[in-house]
């Protein structure tokens, strides 16, 4: 086995030092009746040649872009990732390091996380951002939990246009907390009903996603004002962070916490994971934030450097008094994101966001022109809902045979939305791809 | 004293301290649609990112990488973290376009490769742990713990009476008590015996019908096998409780003990420890959870199933705790662990045997040099402390910082908490005898320096690009963005 460097002579010599007769003898402290009496029933080892062949076959069976034209978003977005990202994030020194507990030999990791925190805080318009969380859904759950706990209130109000997968996570997380999750209905314009907050009492936090699950931009400032009136925090969620290259950031519209997904920023879709949870807050709430934070400092010679900081919030110090049990971050994904943001740049991200917007608007306009109903008039980014005629599910299947995935059927998540599909267009789809789709749908 | 650099110790500013407006390292595709009108009241200023050229970006991150130390740089004996070699073929498999560009909501018929991999992985992990059901959803070990404890919570709820407490030994990871609280239980802390493991009497004394169960790390954080594990599981079961097995240290016992055979009901694995996926400077990880038959109905959704020769995602499971991830877990990390298991097969047992051999070899070789509180055969790691060095006013931290000067990553310091000044060493199976001998020689030399020239240790590290960093002022006046 090429990962195991021991020769029989090494093993012999080491056993002698240890005072054991055999490798099995090393486990003498384990009671014999606890030990497995047979070999593990696993497939025999593959050579690297055989493994490559197996994995190539499995990967080839996937309906991935560019082989397929995939008009799916809903929390996972296909954006172009320049070669610099996988190349640089593949550096062994980044990939094979642990959490930067020894800052003298971890400045590479520490500096890029500090840069990540800085660029993401600019993108989201918020004072502080953590070193990242598992994904947008768990970041939202954790932020809602700490928001309600710090307000000492028992109700979390969540927009029904927060990604349904995220809302399912909230349900799971809140099961044993004694905090009720109340859903805010949506309006005919595809936005959350702000007035639904009026009837609610004991609300500690309000969570709204913008752009929301239907792609529509919400009136975050309105939600912030009303939440603050009610003594609650506003948590702004999002799944498509690229939107803030063009539209107003959540932080600039009064959000106290931001909690969403950063996969769009250079992280491959990879069947949904790992992705990149982004979580931030205003400066005065920083000590409530769960998860890792990197701060600037100096070494003994006065040289600028970075360390993990404010660790007294964390589980390895506070144990049962910790604000969260989280003890890792999505470091490599945050590295991908910071390389991506550095590559695109301030000028580039605006152009890229605008191009994404224009492409989605093109498809939306053409569908409308062809007589399909666009039920929500509100401004959208990248994604929008279209209503197709009864029986479109057969066309959808037919399109799959032609290697086109024509959006996400919404009825599974919103039973009232039969024949409604959530379409997504990014810069990776061309006008020709969209025209093909239109041609097929119309025919 | 002004620091002098060798020619290869490169400096590098922060990203926004370089670049010029108008540069970019990214090609936009050609514009093939007309600009669409925009509601200007919704438009923002866009983020104030620096504009950099591709060469600037590449040099920036390559230079940063040279300031890091990874497993690929050298021995990384960080106790409790299992810093084993991360095979390069795993990275190749995980970067295949078919997987990388796969949308998680593709119809099942069009994602059979991914689903097959996930399904087989569930089967393999079930066999390795001796458990009946597996979920690959959790994103990390702590997330797995939480998922597992939520299932225990759901189990008790379904059996008519919720319980209020969970027993946590003093050798537990910090995540264990934090997790129990998150799941609505109060931790009951119990202590290990003088030999470093749990006595059945201790558990007998606190286990009652208000206690939901126990969380046991086995081998424990002293690197010792919990010899009474089976008996303890029986005590907990006899009062209707469940046994949570923290499998963070599974690298010691693959093919030797299967937790499901000795009384564990729920356990998590850390794919980024035992199954060779890289730690990545803190993540992403993956923390699958395996359960016995009685808990299978509570597994999170979606579950990967095989029906009529087709792999599918199933989410209509009425007793399930629900979803803990938006999609299917850390798919890309699971892929790497899958590649590892397919490469190793039943030889996983040999990996565990050699991990235990390496740890015992270090323990025996260093026990005259460093104080060993629990002198027993260890599993995958051993825990020393700084008692011998106290007289020279040299601490665990001083020795660790000096170890950096010798070119090694230090062990875990000051954990577990039950050993004052703990030095927790986990070499893993992928270090050769020569690597270990060099590491041992370094510690011996440092222990000698502690006697003859303790200042060398107090000032360490001296050979690194950075010297000790001021963590106190970083926390007092946090500067978290630039």
Distance from CA of B451 to the nearest CA of A (A): 24
Residue with tokens 């959803």: B137
Looking at residue A311, its pLDDT comes to 80
The mean predicted confidence, pLDDT, of chain B is 95
CA-to-CA distance for B373 and B420, rounded, in angstroms? 10
Other residues' Cβ atoms within 10 Å of the Cβ of residue B440: 16
Looking at residue B1, its pLDDT comes to 39
Helix (H) or strand (E) holding B310: strand B310-314
**Residue B211 DSSP SS3:** strand
Task: Name the strands in the sheet holding A420-424, side by side, starting at the edge strand that comes first in the sequence.
Answer: A383-387, A420-424, A408-409
Q: Which residues of B touch A354 (CB under 8 A)?
A: 35
**Residue B369 DSSP SS3:** coil
Looking at residue A328, its pLDDT comes to 85
Residue with tokens 């970075």: A306
Across the range A97-115, mean pLDDT stands at: 97
Interface of B with A in 58-117 (CB under 8 A): 58, 60-62, 64-73, 76, 78, 81, 83-87, 89, 91-107, 110-114, 116-117
Looking at residue B6, its pLDDT comes to 56
Reference B38, options A249, A354, A426; nearest CA is A354
Q: Does A248 sit within 8 Å of B469, measured CB to CB? A: no
A165 interface with B at CB cutoff 8 Å: yes
For the stretch A358-391, pLDDT in tens is: 999 999 999 999 999 999 999 999 999 999 999 9
**Mapped to the 3 state alphabet, what secondary structure does chain A carry?**
CCCCCCCHHHHHHHHHHHCCCCCHHHHCCCCHHHCCCCCCCCCCCCCHHHHHHHHHHHHHCCCCCCCCEECCCCCCCCCCCCCHHHHHHCCHHHHCCCCCCCHHHEHHHHHHHHHHHHHHHHHHCCCEECCCECCHHHHHHHHHHHHHHHHCCCEEEEECCCCHHHHHHHHHHHCCCCCEEEEECECCCCCECHHHHCCCCCEEEEEEECCCCCCECCCHHHHHHHHHHCCCEEEEEECCHHHHHCECCCHHHCCCEEEEECCCCCCCCHHHCCCCEEEEECHHHHHHCCCCCEEEEEECCCCEEEEECCHHHCHHHHHHHCCCCCCCCCHHHHHHHHHHHHHHHHHHHHHHHHHHHHHHHHHHHHHHHCCCECCCCCCECCEEEEECCCCHHHHHHHHHHCCEECCEECCCCCCCCCCEEEEECCCCCCHHHHHHHHHHHHC
Residue with tokens 């008996």: B231
A60 interface with B at CB cutoff 8 Å: yes
Residue with tokens 């666009």: A374
A103 interface with B at CB cutoff 8 Å: yes
Look up residue B194 and give its two tokens.
Answer: 């003088």
A421 with A410: CB under 8 angstroms?
Answer: yes
pLDDT at B2 over 50: no
Residue A176: pLDDT band with limits 50, 70, 90: confident
CA-to-CA distance for B406 and B409, rounded, in angstroms? 9
ipTM for the assembly: 0.97
Looking at residue A325, its pLDDT comes to 82
B86 with B277: CB under 8 angstroms?
Answer: yes
For the stretch B195-215, pLDDT in tens is: 999 999 999 999 999 999 999
Across the range A333-354, mean pLDDT stands at: 97
What percentage of residues in chain B have a pLDDT greater than 90?
Answer: 94
Across the range B163-192, mean pLDDT stands at: 91
- Give Cα separations from B350 to A15, A178, B262, B297 (angstroms): 14, 47, 21, 34
Across the range B378-402, mean pLDDT stands at: 97
pLDDT at B3 over 80: no
The residue among B49, B234, B271, B352 with the most chain A CBs within 10 A of its CB, best to mutate, is B49
pLDDT at B301 over 50: yes
CA-to-CA distance for A75 and A269, rounded, in angstroms? 10
Looking at residue B7, its pLDDT comes to 59
Interface of A with B in 353-412 (CB under 8 A): 353-355, 357-359, 361-362, 365, 379, 400, 405, 408
Other residues' Cβ atoms within 10 Å of the Cβ of residue A25: 12
CA-to-CA distance for B277 and B88, rounded, in angstroms? 10
Q: Does B262 sit within 8 Å of A303, measured CB to CB? A: no
Interface A-B: count of C-beta contacts within 8 A:
676
Looking at residue A321, its pLDDT comes to 72
Residue with tokens 């030990």: A35
Q: Does A104 sit within 8 Å of B461, measured CB to CB? A: yes
Distance from CA of B373 to the nearest CA of A (A): 17
CA-to-CA distance for B76 and B426, rounded, in angstroms? 8
For the stretch B272-299, pLDDT in tens is: 999 999 999 999 999 999 999 999 999 9
The mean predicted confidence, pLDDT, of chain A is 96
CA-to-CA distance for B118 and B108, rounded, in angstroms? 13
For the stretch B405-450, pLDDT in tens is: 999 999 999 999 899 999 999 999 999 999 999 999 999 999 999 9
The residue among A342, A384, A426 with the most chain B CBs within 10 A of its CB, best to mutate, is A342
Reference B79, options B362, B373, B392; nearest CA is B362
Looking at residue A430, its pLDDT comes to 97
CA-to-CA distance for B98 and A225, rounded, in angstroms? 46
What percentage of residues in chain A have a pLDDT greater than 90?
Answer: 93
pLDDT at B175 over 70: yes
pLDDT at A317 over 70: no
Q: Which residues of A touch B52 (CB under 8 A)?
A: 342-343, 345
Q: Which residues of B touch A88 (CB under 8 A)?
A: 57-58, 61-62, 65
pLDDT at B473 over 80: yes
> Which one is predicted more confidently, A195 or A1?
A195
Residue A400 phi/psi, 5-degree rounding, is -60, -40
Look up residue A122 and give its two tokens.
Answer: 């600019």
Q: Which residues of A touch B64 (CB under 8 A)?
A: 107-108, 111-112
Look up residue B481 and give its two tokens.
Answer: 């963005």
Contacts (Cβ under 8 Å, ≥6 apart) of B434: none
Look up residue A202 and give its two tokens.
Answer: 């004991």
| B319, B322, B327, B331: CA torsion to nearest 10 | -70
B230 with B212: CB under 8 angstroms?
Answer: no
Nearest Cα residue in chain B from A321: B178
Residue with tokens 């059996």: B159
Looking at residue A313, its pLDDT comes to 65
**Residue B382 DSSP SS3:** strand
Reference A364, options A383, A350, A348; nearest CA is A383
CA-to-CA distance for B133 and B127, rounded, in angstroms? 10
Contacts (Cβ under 8 Å, ≥6 apart) of B273: B81, B82, B84, B141, B248, B250, B251
For the stretch B18-76, pLDDT in tens is: 999 989 999 999 999 999 999 999 999 999 999 999 999 999 999 999 999 999 999 99
Task: Choose among B46, B98, B351: nearest Cβ to A346.
Answer: B46
pLDDT at A52 over 80: yes
CA-to-CA distance for A178 and A174, rounded, in angstroms? 7
The CA R_g of chain A, rounded to the nearest whole Å, is 25
């Amino acid at each position: 086995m090429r990962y195991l460097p021991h020769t029989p002579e090494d093993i012999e010599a080491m056993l002698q030092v240890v005072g054991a007769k055999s490798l099995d003898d090393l486990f003498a402290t384990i009671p014999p009746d606890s030990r497995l009496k047979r070999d593990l029933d696993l497939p025999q080892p593959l050579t690297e040649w055989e493994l490559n062949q197996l994995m190539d076959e499995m990967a080839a069976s996937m309906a991935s872009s560019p082989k397929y034209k995939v008009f799916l978003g809903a929390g996972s977005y296909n954006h172009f990732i320049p070669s610099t990202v996988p190349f640089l994030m593949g550096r062994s020194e980044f990939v094979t390091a642990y959490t930067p507990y020894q800052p003298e030999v971890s400045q590479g990791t520490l500096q890029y996380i500090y840069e990540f925190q800085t660029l993401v805080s600019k993108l989201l318009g918020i004072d502080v951002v953590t070193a990242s969380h598992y994904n947008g859904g768990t970041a939202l759950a954790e932020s809602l939990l700490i928001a309600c706990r710090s307000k000492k209130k028992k109700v979390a109000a969540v927009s029904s246009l927060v990604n349904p997968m995220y809302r399912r996570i909230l349900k799971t997380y809140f099961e044993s907390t004694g905090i009720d999750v109340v859903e805010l209905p949506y309006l005919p314009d595809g936005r959350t009903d702000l007035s639904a907050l009026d009837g609610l009492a004991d609300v500690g936090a309000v969570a709204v996603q913008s752009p929301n699950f239907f792609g529509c931009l919400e009136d975050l400032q309105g939600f912030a004002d009303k939440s603050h009136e009610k003594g609650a925090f506003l948590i702004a969620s999002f799944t498509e962070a690229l939107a803030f290259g063009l539209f107003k950031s959540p932080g600039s519209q009064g959000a106290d916490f931001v909690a969403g997904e950063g996969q769009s920023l250079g992280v491959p879709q990879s069947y949904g994971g790992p992705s990149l949870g982004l979580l931030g807050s205003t400066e005065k709430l920083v000590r409530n934030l769960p998860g890792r934070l990197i701060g600037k400092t100096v070494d003994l010679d006065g040289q600028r450097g970075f360390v993990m900081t404010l660790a007294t919030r964390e589980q390895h110090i506070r144990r049962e008094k910790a604000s969260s049990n989280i003890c890792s971050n999505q470091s490599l994904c945050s590295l991908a994101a910071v390389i991506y943001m550095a590559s695109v740049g301030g000028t580039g991200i605006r152009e890229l966001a605008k191009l994404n917007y224009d492409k989605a608007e093109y498809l939306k306009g053409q569908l409308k022109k062809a007589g399909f109903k666009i039920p929500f008039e509100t401004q959208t980014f990248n994604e929008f809902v279209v209503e197709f005629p009864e029986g479109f599910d057969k066309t959808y299947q037919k399109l799959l045979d032609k290697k086109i995935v024509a959006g996400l059927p919404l009825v599974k998540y919103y039973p009232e939305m039969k024949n409604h599909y959530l379409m997504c267009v990014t810069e990776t789809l061309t006008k020709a791809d969209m025209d093909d789709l239109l041609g097929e749908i119309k025919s | 004293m002004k620091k002098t650099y060798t020619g290869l110790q490169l400096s590098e500013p922060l990203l926004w301290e370089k670049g010029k407006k108008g540069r970019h390292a990214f090609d936009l595709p050609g514009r093939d649609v007309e600009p669409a009108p925009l509601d200007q009241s919704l438009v923002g200023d866009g983020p104030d990112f620096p504009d950099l050229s591709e060469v600037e970006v590449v040099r920036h991150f390559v230079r940063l990488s040279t300031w890091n130390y990874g497993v690929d740089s050298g021995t990384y004996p960080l106790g409790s973290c299992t810093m084993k070699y991360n095979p390069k073929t795993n990275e190749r498999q995980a970067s295949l376009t078919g997987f990388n560009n796969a949308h998680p909501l593709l119809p099942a018929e069009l994602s059979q490769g991914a689903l097959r991999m996930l399904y087989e992985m569930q089967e393999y992990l079930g066999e390795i742990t001796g458990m009946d059901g597996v979920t690959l959803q959790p994103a990390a070990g702590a997330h797995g713990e939480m998922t597992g404890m939520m299932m225990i919570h759901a189990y008790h709820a379904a059996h008519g009476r919720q319980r209020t407490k969970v027993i946590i030994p003093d050798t537990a990871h910090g995540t264990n008590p934090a997790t129990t609280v998150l799941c609505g239980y109060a931790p009951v802390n119990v202590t290990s015996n003088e030999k470093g493991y749990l006595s059945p009497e201790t558990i007998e004394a606190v286990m009652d019908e208000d206690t939901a169960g126990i969380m046991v790390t086995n081998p424990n954080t002293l690197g010792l096998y919990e010899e009474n594990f089976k008996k303890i599981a029986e005590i907990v079961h006899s009062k209707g409780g469940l046994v949570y097995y923290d499998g963070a240290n599974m690298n010691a016992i693959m093919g030797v003990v299967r937790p499901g055979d000795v009384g564990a009901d729920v356990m998590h694995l850390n794919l980024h420890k035992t199954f060779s996926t890289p730690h990545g400077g803190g993540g992403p990880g993956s923390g699958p959870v395996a359960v016995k038959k009685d808990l299978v109905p509570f597994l999170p959704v979606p579950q990967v199933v095989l029906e009529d020769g087709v792999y599918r995602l199933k989410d209509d499971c009425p007793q399930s705790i629900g979803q803990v991830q938006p999609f299917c877990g850390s798919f890309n990390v699971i892929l790497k662990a899958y590649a590892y298991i397919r490469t190793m097969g039943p030889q996983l047992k040999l990996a565990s045997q050699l991990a235990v051999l390496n740890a015992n070899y270090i323990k025996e070789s260093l026990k005259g040099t460093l104080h060993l509180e629990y002198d027993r055969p260890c599993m995958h790691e051993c825990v020393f402390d700084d008692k011998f060095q106290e007289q020279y006013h040299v601490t665990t931290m001083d020795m660790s910082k000096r170890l950096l000067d010798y070119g090694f990553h230090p062990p875990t310091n000051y954990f577990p908490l039950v050993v004052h000044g703990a030095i927790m060493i986990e070499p893993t199976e992928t270090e050769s005898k020569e690597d270990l001998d060099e590491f041992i020689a370094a510690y011996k030399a440092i222990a000698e320096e502690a006697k003859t020239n303790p200042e060398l240790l107090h000032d360490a590290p001296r050979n690194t690009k950075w010297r000790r960093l001021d963590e106190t002022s970083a926390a007092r006046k946090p500067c978290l963005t630039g």
